[in-house]
Amino acid sequence: MTRPAGFDNCLYLDAQAASIRERLETADKLFLEFGGKLLYDFHAARVLPGYDPNIKMRLLHELRDQAEIILCIHAGHIERRKMRADFGITYDADAMKLVDDLHDHGLEVTAVIITCHEGRPAAEQFRRKLERRGLRVYAHAPIPGYPDDLTHIVSPNGYGALPLPPTTRPLVVVTAPGPGSGKLATCLAMLYHEHQAGRRAAYAKFETFPVWDLLPGHPLNLAYEAATADLGDTVQTDPFHLEATGRQATSYSREINAFPLLRTLLQRLGAAAPCRSPTDLGVNRIRAGITNEALIREASCQEIIRRHFRYACEYALGLTDSTTLERLDALMRRLDLQPDSRRVVAPARQAALDGAARQKGNLGVYCGAALELADGTLITGKNSPLMHAASSVVLNAIKHLAGIPDNIHLLPPAVTRSIGALKHDILGRKTESLSLNETLIALSISATLNPSAQAALECLKQLAGTEFHATHIPTPGDETGLKRLGIHVTCDPHFPSRNLLES
């Protein structure tokens, strides 16, 4: 069943490409900072049903004759092994993945720039690895006095001292694995060099959210605020735009606070494009693609609830502080949302209660899970000595999709017993219960001999984009399996075990 869409990619793509080409007409060269994710923008896909998470790649294809790409990565992120949460990989690994993904789409990276590089071992090793694979790599040392000492920054000893790759095309796209990678400083340094050479250059920022021509209180913009709650961002009216034009536009706190300094820098650099406000510097035509605002509002509210659960779990895991939770609670109250406004929450909690009641056991031992299919059907599952709740609900879901009766088993008892014995007797694990990863491997083995298992296996792709909730934080084996299936996961902030290492 096809999910209803509230967003038209073609309308958006036409408007966005036209807006960038319009900016290109203002200067000999445009340095375009790509905020957010260049590929796999799943946040946008969740809040804009129908949005292609790789549409920015389609945009680059449309502009490929005019554009070249520069990739930035902060040396500190390499040293600290900062993680990209949606893929569970480090920023340096994601940078290499991004180079590969662009190559697979017929686009090449002109150069990689390591920002704030001070010669530390991990960053140097990363540099050598890329250079020996044929990539041009440039190291930018920190600029003393940045960002306050403008006289030094805009000088031969500031931006002028940073080595930069030669660029030959009118559009230079500057991207990165994540925020804080030094994209802006790189754009401004290149702008400085163009200005010194007597060429007219401009800067603009391509960032999907917040949406400048929707009100700050629109759920789509509040979903962005929820996504950046750990950074303390708030969505606000752009006061500079209001003063300059008399029209309301939406921006966010970090951008507004940084604008006076950025405007002064751009003026000193002789930027060709207007810089009256953060909104003027942005290139964002998301609203052009919205075809069903009611659907977008509902999807955005659901994303805020997902973020509520995510930050609650991160707090339990010691990954964030109470301030982040308070911001999410305030957003939930603002939109009159409750945790069980997410359809899968109540059935998952009821499954855990049912499991405890049947076995007359302690509720804390039982984990319930629920999954909502594309057609709205709710499937539940719970943990058992055989498998985790995530495994149970996924098997139940694909049996339903394949039309397989409940009394037909997909996994032969001999296989599950063998895996359980391996875990307990040989690997020394405390439980024999199968995680989702282990269950999927067992299912693939069973499918070689069991036609029902094969039919169910073929339905796994239909779980991409479905909604899932569990009453406990998934174990690594469950989390990896759910992520690879493309399922949207939330969970209550409870641990599946009292054992600290297993939790």
C-alpha distances out from residue 409 to 417, 456, 463, Å: 14, 11, 20
Burial class of residue 21 (count of CB atoms within 10 Å of its CB; 0-12, 13-18, 19+): middle
Order the strands of the 378-382 sheet from edge to edge: 378-382, 368-372, 467-470, 488-491
Q: 9-289, which class in CATH?
A: alpha beta
281 vs 275: CA distance, rounded Å: 6
The domain locations on the chain are 9-289, 293-334, 343-491
The region that residue 130 occupies, defined by phi over 0 for left and psi between -120 and 50 for alpha, beta otherwise, is alpha
Q: 343-491, which class in CATH?
A: alpha beta
Spatial contact of 344 and 468, defined as CB atoms under 8 Å apart:
yes
pLDDT in tens, the chain (503 residues): 566 789 999 999 999 999 999 999 989 999 999 987 888 889 999 999 999 999 999 999 899 899 999 999 999 999 888 777 666 688 889 899 999 999 888 888 999 999 999 988 999 999 999 999 999 999 999 999 888 888 999 999 999 999 999 999 999 999 998 888 999 999 999 999 999 999 899 999 998 999 999 999 999 999 999 998 988 889 999 999 999 999 999 999 989 998 998 898 888 888 876 689 999 999 999 999 999 999 999 999 999 999 999 999 999 999 889 999 999 999 999 999 999 999 999 999 999 998 877 766 555 568 999 999 999 999 999 998 888 999 999 999 999 999 999 888 898 877 777 777 776 666 666 666 888 998 999 999 899 889 999 999 999 999 999 999 999 999 988 999 999 999 999 999 998 766 644 54
* Half-sphere exposure for 277 (CA within 13 Å, toward CB): 21
Measured torsion, CA atoms of residues 218, 224, 229, 232, in degrees rounded to the nearest 10:
-80
Q: Are strands 467-470 and 83-84 parallel, antiparallel or unpaired?
A: unpaired
Structure tokens of 379?
A: 């499937």
C-alpha distances out from residue 161 to 144, 190, 396, Å: 12, 11, 61
